[in-house]
Protein backbone atom coordinates (compact mmCIF):
# COMPACT_ATOMS: atom_id res chain seq x y z
CA UNK A 1 0.00 0.00 0.00
CA UNK A 2 2.78 2.43 0.93
CA UNK A 3 4.59 1.83 -2.36
CA UNK A 4 1.41 2.53 -4.32
CA UNK A 5 0.73 5.63 -2.23
CA UNK A 6 4.22 7.00 -2.93
CA UNK A 7 3.80 6.30 -6.64
CA UNK A 8 0.49 8.20 -6.64
CA UNK A 9 2.16 11.06 -4.81
CA UNK A 10 4.82 11.33 -7.50
CA UNK A 11 2.18 11.36 -10.23
CA UNK A 12 -0.13 13.90 -8.65
CA UNK A 13 2.08 16.14 -6.54
CA UNK A 14 1.73 18.96 -9.08
CA UNK A 15 -2.05 18.90 -9.05
CA UNK A 16 -3.60 21.63 -6.90
CA UNK A 17 -5.99 19.00 -5.58
CA UNK A 18 -3.52 16.15 -5.40
CA UNK A 19 -2.99 16.09 -1.66
CA UNK A 20 -6.74 16.24 -1.10
CA UNK A 21 -7.32 13.02 -3.04
CA UNK A 22 -4.29 11.19 -1.82
CA UNK A 23 -5.62 11.72 1.67
CA UNK A 24 -8.75 9.86 0.55
CA UNK A 25 -6.66 6.92 -0.65
CA UNK A 26 -4.80 6.86 2.64
CA UNK A 27 -8.11 6.65 4.51
CA UNK A 28 -8.99 3.39 2.81
CA UNK A 29 -5.88 1.75 4.25
CA UNK A 30 -5.76 3.28 7.70
CA UNK A 31 -9.24 4.14 8.97
CA UNK A 32 -9.92 0.68 10.31
CA UNK A 33 -6.71 0.92 12.35
CA UNK A 34 -7.84 4.10 14.13
CA UNK A 35 -11.13 3.17 15.77
CA UNK A 36 -13.42 5.60 17.54
CA UNK A 37 -14.03 4.22 21.00
CA UNK A 38 -17.71 3.99 21.90
CA UNK A 39 -17.13 6.10 25.03
CA UNK A 40 -16.09 9.11 22.94
CA UNK A 41 -19.50 9.56 21.31
CA UNK A 42 -22.23 11.42 23.16
CA UNK A 43 -25.79 12.42 22.32
CA UNK A 44 -28.43 10.78 20.17
CA UNK A 45 -27.00 8.78 17.31
CA UNK A 46 -28.71 7.69 14.12
CA UNK A 47 -29.51 4.23 15.47
CA UNK A 48 -31.44 5.87 18.31
CA UNK A 49 -33.03 8.44 16.00
CA UNK A 50 -34.37 5.54 13.94
CA UNK A 51 -35.85 3.84 16.98
CA UNK A 52 -33.26 1.19 17.77
CA UNK A 53 -32.54 0.51 21.46
CA UNK A 54 -30.35 3.02 23.23
CA UNK A 55 -26.69 2.17 23.68
CA UNK A 56 -26.53 -0.60 21.06
CA UNK A 57 -24.23 -1.26 18.14
CA UNK A 58 -26.38 -1.59 15.01
CA UNK A 59 -24.54 -2.98 11.98
CA UNK A 60 -25.05 -3.43 8.26
CA UNK A 61 -22.83 -6.15 6.81
CA UNK A 62 -22.53 -4.96 3.24
CA UNK A 63 -21.09 -6.82 0.23
CA UNK A 64 -19.46 -4.50 -2.31
CA UNK A 65 -18.43 -5.14 -5.93
CA UNK A 66 -21.40 -7.27 -6.94
CA UNK A 67 -21.54 -7.56 -10.73
CA UNK A 68 -17.79 -7.11 -11.07
CA UNK A 69 -17.44 -10.79 -11.93
CA UNK A 70 -19.35 -14.06 -11.69
CA UNK A 71 -17.39 -15.03 -8.58
CA UNK A 72 -18.62 -11.96 -6.70
CA UNK A 73 -22.22 -12.61 -7.74
CA UNK A 74 -22.18 -16.22 -6.55
CA UNK A 75 -20.79 -15.26 -3.14
CA UNK A 76 -23.19 -12.36 -2.58
CA UNK A 77 -26.28 -14.21 -3.77
CA UNK A 78 -25.46 -17.07 -1.43
CA UNK A 79 -24.99 -14.76 1.54
CA UNK A 80 -28.21 -12.83 0.87
CA UNK A 81 -30.33 -15.91 0.26
CA UNK A 82 -29.14 -17.44 3.55
CA UNK A 83 -29.70 -14.13 5.43
CA UNK A 84 -26.10 -14.16 6.62
CA UNK A 85 -25.55 -10.55 5.55
CA UNK A 86 -27.97 -7.67 5.28
CA UNK A 87 -27.05 -5.78 2.12
CA UNK A 88 -25.08 -5.66 -1.12
CA UNK A 89 -24.46 -3.26 -4.01
CA UNK A 90 -23.98 -3.72 -7.76
CA UNK A 91 -21.34 -2.13 -9.99
CA UNK A 92 -23.55 -1.32 -12.99
CA UNK A 93 -20.80 -0.83 -15.64
CA UNK A 94 -19.16 -4.19 -14.92
CA UNK A 95 -19.30 -7.40 -17.00
CA UNK A 96 -21.65 -9.37 -14.74
CA UNK A 97 -23.84 -6.47 -13.58
CA UNK A 98 -26.90 -7.29 -15.68
CA UNK A 99 -27.06 -10.75 -14.13
CA UNK A 100 -26.97 -9.15 -10.68
CA UNK A 101 -29.56 -6.50 -11.57
CA UNK A 102 -31.92 -9.16 -12.92
CA UNK A 103 -31.41 -11.24 -9.77
CA UNK A 104 -32.26 -8.24 -7.60
CA UNK A 105 -35.26 -7.23 -9.73
CA UNK A 106 -36.70 -10.73 -9.31
CA UNK A 107 -36.19 -10.55 -5.53
CA UNK A 108 -37.46 -7.12 -4.47
CA UNK A 109 -37.33 -8.00 -0.78
CA UNK A 110 -33.55 -8.39 -0.91
CA UNK A 111 -31.59 -5.31 0.16
CA UNK A 112 -29.54 -4.56 -2.95
CA UNK A 113 -28.29 -1.14 -3.96
CA UNK A 114 -25.86 0.33 -6.48
CA UNK A 115 -22.12 0.68 -6.00
CA UNK A 116 -21.78 3.76 -8.20
CA UNK A 117 -18.63 3.19 -10.22
CA UNK A 118 -16.30 5.79 -11.74
CA UNK A 119 -13.01 3.88 -11.65
CA UNK A 120 -11.69 0.72 -13.30
CA UNK A 121 -8.73 -0.26 -11.17
CA UNK A 122 -7.54 -3.67 -12.35
CA UNK A 123 -4.67 -4.17 -14.79
CA UNK A 124 -6.45 -6.06 -17.56
CA UNK A 125 -10.05 -6.58 -16.36
CA UNK A 126 -11.72 -3.24 -17.02
CA UNK A 127 -14.92 -1.38 -17.89
CA UNK A 128 -16.14 1.99 -19.13
CA UNK A 129 -19.14 4.27 -18.82
CA UNK A 130 -22.84 3.58 -19.12
CA UNK A 131 -23.22 7.09 -20.58
CA UNK A 132 -22.24 7.78 -24.17
CA UNK A 133 -18.45 8.25 -24.00
CA UNK A 134 -18.82 11.47 -26.00
CA UNK A 135 -20.81 12.93 -23.11
CA UNK A 136 -18.31 12.05 -20.36
CA UNK A 137 -14.82 12.28 -21.90
CA UNK A 138 -13.24 13.39 -18.64
CA UNK A 139 -14.18 10.10 -16.99
CA UNK A 140 -12.35 7.96 -19.55
CA UNK A 141 -8.70 7.20 -20.22
CA UNK A 142 -7.05 6.68 -23.62
CA UNK A 143 -8.34 3.10 -23.66
CA UNK A 144 -11.93 4.31 -23.30
CA UNK A 145 -12.17 2.87 -19.78
CA UNK A 146 -12.64 4.59 -16.44
CA UNK A 147 -9.46 5.89 -14.83
CA UNK A 148 -7.78 3.45 -12.47
CA UNK A 149 -7.50 5.79 -9.47
CA UNK A 150 -9.52 8.43 -7.65
CA UNK A 151 -6.93 11.20 -8.23
CA UNK A 152 -7.08 10.62 -11.98
CA UNK A 153 -10.86 10.94 -11.96
CA UNK A 154 -10.78 14.19 -10.04
CA UNK A 155 -8.05 15.73 -12.18
CA UNK A 156 -9.93 14.98 -15.41
CA UNK A 157 -13.68 14.76 -14.73
CA UNK A 158 -16.13 17.56 -13.99
CA UNK A 159 -18.93 17.27 -11.46
CA UNK A 160 -21.38 17.55 -14.37
CA UNK A 161 -19.85 14.47 -16.02
CA UNK A 162 -19.93 12.61 -12.73
CA UNK A 163 -23.59 13.47 -12.25
CA UNK A 164 -24.48 12.37 -15.78
CA UNK A 165 -22.78 9.01 -15.32
CA UNK A 166 -24.19 8.14 -11.89
CA UNK A 167 -27.67 9.04 -13.11
CA UNK A 168 -27.14 6.76 -16.11
CA UNK A 169 -26.13 3.90 -13.81
CA UNK A 170 -29.18 4.36 -11.59
CA UNK A 171 -31.50 4.73 -14.57
CA UNK A 172 -30.20 1.54 -16.18
CA UNK A 173 -30.87 -0.50 -13.04
CA UNK A 174 -34.34 0.98 -12.67
CA UNK A 175 -35.12 0.39 -16.35
CA UNK A 176 -34.34 -3.31 -15.82
CA UNK A 177 -36.92 -3.51 -13.05
CA UNK A 178 -34.67 -3.09 -10.04
CA UNK A 179 -35.53 -0.80 -7.15
CA UNK A 180 -32.17 0.09 -5.54
CA UNK A 181 -32.31 0.17 -1.74
CA UNK A 182 -29.37 2.59 -1.53
CA UNK A 183 -26.42 4.04 -3.43
CA UNK A 184 -22.77 4.16 -2.42
CA UNK A 185 -19.45 4.82 -4.09
CA UNK A 186 -16.76 2.50 -5.46
CA UNK A 187 -13.31 3.37 -4.11
CA UNK A 188 -14.80 6.42 -2.39
CA UNK A 189 -14.66 8.42 -5.62
CA UNK A 190 -17.79 10.43 -4.91
CA UNK A 191 -16.10 11.77 -1.78
CA UNK A 192 -12.98 12.75 -3.73
CA UNK A 193 -14.10 16.34 -4.29
CA UNK A 194 -16.53 18.65 -2.55
CA UNK A 195 -18.42 19.18 -5.82
CA UNK A 196 -18.76 15.41 -6.26
CA UNK A 197 -20.20 15.16 -2.74
CA UNK A 198 -22.81 17.78 -3.64
CA UNK A 199 -23.79 15.82 -6.73
CA UNK A 200 -23.93 12.54 -4.79
CA UNK A 201 -26.23 13.95 -2.10
CA UNK A 202 -28.41 15.78 -4.63
CA UNK A 203 -28.94 12.67 -6.75
CA UNK A 204 -29.75 10.59 -3.66
CA UNK A 205 -32.40 13.09 -2.60
CA UNK A 206 -33.92 13.44 -6.06
CA UNK A 207 -34.28 9.68 -6.49
CA UNK A 208 -35.18 9.26 -2.79
CA UNK A 209 -32.52 6.54 -2.54
CA UNK A 210 -30.31 6.88 0.55
CA UNK A 211 -26.57 7.37 0.08
CA UNK A 212 -23.94 6.07 2.47
CA UNK A 213 -23.50 9.48 4.10
CA UNK A 214 -21.64 9.61 7.41
CA UNK A 215 -23.00 12.09 9.95
CA UNK A 216 -20.12 14.51 10.54
CA UNK A 217 -22.00 16.77 12.92
CA UNK A 218 -20.31 14.95 15.80
CA UNK A 219 -16.86 16.54 15.88
CA UNK A 220 -15.32 13.38 17.31
CA UNK A 221 -16.37 11.46 14.21
CA UNK A 222 -15.32 14.24 11.85
CA UNK A 223 -11.95 14.53 13.56
CA UNK A 224 -11.45 10.76 13.45
CA UNK A 225 -11.82 10.64 9.68
CA UNK A 226 -9.89 13.86 9.22
CA UNK A 227 -6.97 12.43 11.22
CA UNK A 228 -7.18 9.24 9.19
CA UNK A 229 -6.68 11.27 6.02
CA UNK A 230 -10.26 11.73 4.92
CA UNK A 231 -10.68 14.98 2.90
CA UNK A 232 -13.18 16.68 5.19
CA UNK A 233 -13.56 20.43 4.98
CA UNK A 234 -16.32 22.85 5.97
CA UNK A 235 -17.95 22.57 2.55
CA UNK A 236 -18.25 18.79 2.78
CA UNK A 237 -19.54 18.95 6.35
CA UNK A 238 -22.17 21.51 5.37
CA UNK A 239 -23.27 19.45 2.36
CA UNK A 240 -23.80 16.35 4.47
CA UNK A 241 -25.42 18.34 7.27
CA UNK A 242 -27.96 19.66 4.76
CA UNK A 243 -28.62 16.19 3.31
CA UNK A 244 -32.21 15.21 4.11
CA UNK A 245 -32.08 11.39 4.13
CA UNK A 246 -30.81 9.09 6.93
CA UNK A 247 -27.11 8.89 7.70
CA UNK A 248 -24.62 6.50 9.20
CA UNK A 249 -22.90 7.17 12.51
CA UNK A 250 -19.78 5.35 11.37
CA UNK A 251 -18.31 3.38 8.47
CA UNK A 252 -15.55 0.78 8.21
CA UNK A 253 -14.36 -2.26 6.28
CA UNK A 254 -13.39 -5.83 7.09
CA UNK A 255 -9.65 -5.81 7.91
CA UNK A 256 -7.09 -7.89 6.09
CA UNK A 257 -5.22 -10.82 7.61
CA UNK A 258 -2.31 -13.07 6.69
CA UNK A 259 -4.43 -16.11 7.53
CA UNK A 260 -8.16 -16.67 7.73
CA UNK A 261 -7.93 -16.97 11.52
CA UNK A 262 -6.02 -13.71 11.78
CA UNK A 263 -8.51 -11.97 9.52
CA UNK A 264 -11.39 -13.22 11.66
CA UNK A 265 -9.67 -12.04 14.84
CA UNK A 266 -8.96 -8.65 13.29
CA UNK A 267 -12.63 -8.38 12.40
CA UNK A 268 -13.64 -9.20 15.98
CA UNK A 269 -11.32 -6.48 17.27
CA UNK A 270 -12.81 -4.00 14.81
CA UNK A 271 -16.37 -4.69 15.96
CA UNK A 272 -15.41 -4.44 19.64
CA UNK A 273 -13.90 -1.02 19.02
CA UNK A 274 -16.80 0.39 17.02
CA UNK A 275 -18.82 3.21 18.53
CA UNK A 276 -22.39 2.74 19.65
CA UNK A 277 -24.78 3.64 16.84
CA UNK A 278 -25.36 2.76 13.19
CA UNK A 279 -22.31 1.47 11.32
CA UNK A 280 -21.92 -0.01 7.85
CA UNK A 281 -19.08 -2.52 7.43
CA UNK A 282 -18.16 -3.28 3.84
CA UNK A 283 -16.41 -6.33 2.43
CA UNK A 284 -15.82 -7.92 -0.99
CA UNK A 285 -16.75 -11.61 -1.06
CA UNK A 286 -15.94 -13.83 -4.05
CA UNK A 287 -15.77 -17.57 -4.54
CA UNK A 288 -12.36 -18.93 -5.47
CA UNK A 289 -11.63 -19.68 -9.13
CA UNK A 290 -8.59 -19.46 -11.34
CA UNK A 291 -10.31 -16.63 -13.18
CA UNK A 292 -10.60 -14.59 -9.97
CA UNK A 293 -6.85 -14.90 -9.50
CA UNK A 294 -6.28 -13.29 -12.89
CA UNK A 295 -8.53 -10.33 -12.00
CA UNK A 296 -7.21 -9.15 -8.65
CA UNK A 297 -4.30 -9.68 -6.32
CA UNK A 298 -6.75 -9.39 -3.42
CA UNK A 299 -8.43 -12.67 -4.39
CA UNK A 300 -7.42 -14.49 -1.18
CA UNK A 301 -8.93 -11.80 1.07
CA UNK A 302 -12.12 -11.89 -1.01
CA UNK A 303 -12.35 -15.67 -0.77
CA UNK A 304 -11.97 -15.53 3.01
CA UNK A 305 -14.66 -12.83 3.11
CA UNK A 306 -16.98 -15.22 1.27
CA UNK A 307 -16.53 -17.61 4.22
CA UNK A 308 -16.47 -15.20 7.16
CA UNK A 309 -20.16 -14.61 7.83
CA UNK A 310 -21.12 -18.26 7.48
CA UNK A 311 -18.60 -19.13 10.18
CA UNK A 312 -20.29 -20.41 13.39
CA UNK A 313 -17.56 -18.77 15.44
CA UNK A 314 -18.45 -15.40 13.89
CA UNK A 315 -22.17 -15.95 14.52
CA UNK A 316 -21.48 -16.79 18.16
CA UNK A 317 -19.37 -13.65 18.45
CA UNK A 318 -22.27 -11.51 17.22
CA UNK A 319 -24.59 -13.04 19.80
CA UNK A 320 -22.06 -12.60 22.59
CA UNK A 321 -21.58 -8.94 21.63
CA UNK A 322 -25.36 -8.40 21.45
CA UNK A 323 -25.12 -6.92 17.97
CA UNK A 324 -28.28 -5.70 16.24
CA UNK A 325 -28.37 -5.98 12.44
CA UNK A 326 -30.28 -3.84 9.99
CA UNK A 327 -30.46 -3.06 6.28
CA UNK A 328 -30.92 0.02 4.12
CA UNK A 329 -34.50 -1.02 3.46
CA UNK A 330 -35.28 -1.11 7.18
CA UNK A 331 -33.44 2.17 7.72
CA UNK A 332 -35.60 3.93 5.14
CA UNK A 333 -38.78 2.37 6.50
CA UNK A 334 -37.92 3.54 10.01
CA UNK A 335 -36.93 6.97 8.69
CA UNK A 336 -40.17 7.42 6.78
CA UNK A 337 -42.25 6.22 9.74
CA UNK A 338 -40.39 8.58 12.04
CA UNK A 339 -41.23 11.50 9.80
CA UNK A 340 -44.92 10.65 9.61
CA UNK A 341 -45.58 9.76 13.24
- Cα angle for residues 49, 183, 70 (degrees, 5° grid): 130
This prediction has a pTM of 0.87
**What pLDDT is attached to residue 22?**
42
**What pLDDT is attached to residue 28?**
41
Helix runs in 243-327, H state only: 260-273, 290-295, 299-308, 312-320
**What pLDDT is attached to residue 89?**
98
**What pLDDT is attached to residue 232?**
82
**What pLDDT is attached to residue 225?**
74
**What pLDDT is attached to residue 86?**
97
Domain 44-340, what fold? TIM Barrel (3.20.20)
Helix (H, G, I), strand (E, B) or coil at 133: helix
In whole angstroms, how far apart are CA 47 and each of 53, 123, 262? 8, 40, 30
β-pairing, 324-325 vs 183-185, is unpaired
Q: Exposure pattern of 109-132 as b/e (b: 16+ CB <10 Å)? A: ebbbbbbbbbbbebeebbbbbbbe
**What pLDDT is attached to residue 340?**
55
**What pLDDT is attached to residue 27?**
41
Q: State the Cα–Cα distance between residues 261 and 268, nearest whole angstrom.
A: 11
- Is the alpha carbon torsion for 150, 151, 153, 158 positive or negative? positive
Q: What are phi and psi of 77, to 5 degrees?
A: -60, -45
In eight-state DSSP terms, residue 211 is: B
Per run of 10 residues, the mean pLDDT along the chain (length 341 residues) is 35 40 41 41 78 96 98 98 98 98 98 98 97 98 96 96 98 98 95 93 98 90 75 90 96 96 98 96 98 96 98 98 98 86 50
- Domain-wise residue ranges, the chain: 44-340
Amino acid sequence: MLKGFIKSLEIYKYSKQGVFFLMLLLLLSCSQDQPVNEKTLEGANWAEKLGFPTGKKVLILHADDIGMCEEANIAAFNYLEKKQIQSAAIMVPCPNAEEAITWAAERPTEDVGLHLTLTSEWKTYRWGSISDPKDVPGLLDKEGKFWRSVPEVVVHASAAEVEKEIRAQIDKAISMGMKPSHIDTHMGTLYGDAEYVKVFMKVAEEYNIPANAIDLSNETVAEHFRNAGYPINDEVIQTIESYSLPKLDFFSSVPKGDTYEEKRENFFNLVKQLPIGLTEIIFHPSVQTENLKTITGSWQQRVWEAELFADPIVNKFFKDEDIIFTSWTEIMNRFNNRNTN
